[in-house]
Amino acid sequence: MRFFVFLIFILWAGKSAHSCEIEFRPPLVFVEFGGSATANCNASLCSNIDGIGWESPYGGTGLIEGQSTLNVNLENVKEWNTEPQCYIVFSNDTQRTKKLPITVYSKLLR
């Protein structure tokens, strides 16, 4: 538990940098095995954004053009080590991706 508190602190400390970064809300997602969760990807501090998208077998989106924030509904997550990624495409044809920090847990193991 102490590890997670520490991790959240690191993620929040990183948020104070007001530059072009991909940010997640919440910064860390917990989802029960077979369950669902939502997260928001936010790159609104970046200029020249063409579009944004989520990549995941559990509710990924295509590239949504003309937006700089996007929600994902992760549904029926049945993989322990899934790595949903948010990606943004800039108007200069470059792309940036970031993995959502996610923890899949099971009630049975607690």
Ligand X SMILES: *[C@@H]1O[C@H](CO)[C@@H](O)[C@H](O)[C@H]1NC(C)=O
By beta-carbon proximity to ligand X, the closer residue of 65 and 79 is: 65
Asked if residues 72 and 84 have their Cβ atoms less than 8 Å apart, the reply is yes
Residue 16 or 81: the one with the smaller Cβ distance to ligand X is 16
Q: Which is nearer to ligand X, 42 or 61 (CB)?
A: 42
Task: Round to whole Å and give the CA distance between 28 and 40.
Answer: 11
Min separation Cβ 66 and ligand X, Å: 14
In the chain, the amino acid numbered 98 is K
- Applying CB under 6 A, the residues found at the interface with ligand X are 20, 25, 40, 42, 44-48, 69, 90, 92, 94
Q: In the complex, what is the shortest distance from the CB of residue 47 to ligand X, in angstroms, rounded to a whole number?
A: 6
**Nearest residue (CB) to ligand X, 42 versus 85:** 42
Give the separation between CA 102 and CA 24, rounded to whole angstroms: 11
Q: Is the peptide bond before 27 cis (omega within 30 degrees of 0)?
A: no
Closest contact distance (angstroms) between CB of 18 and ligand X is 8
CA neighbor of 55 nearest in space, from 90, 26, 96: 96
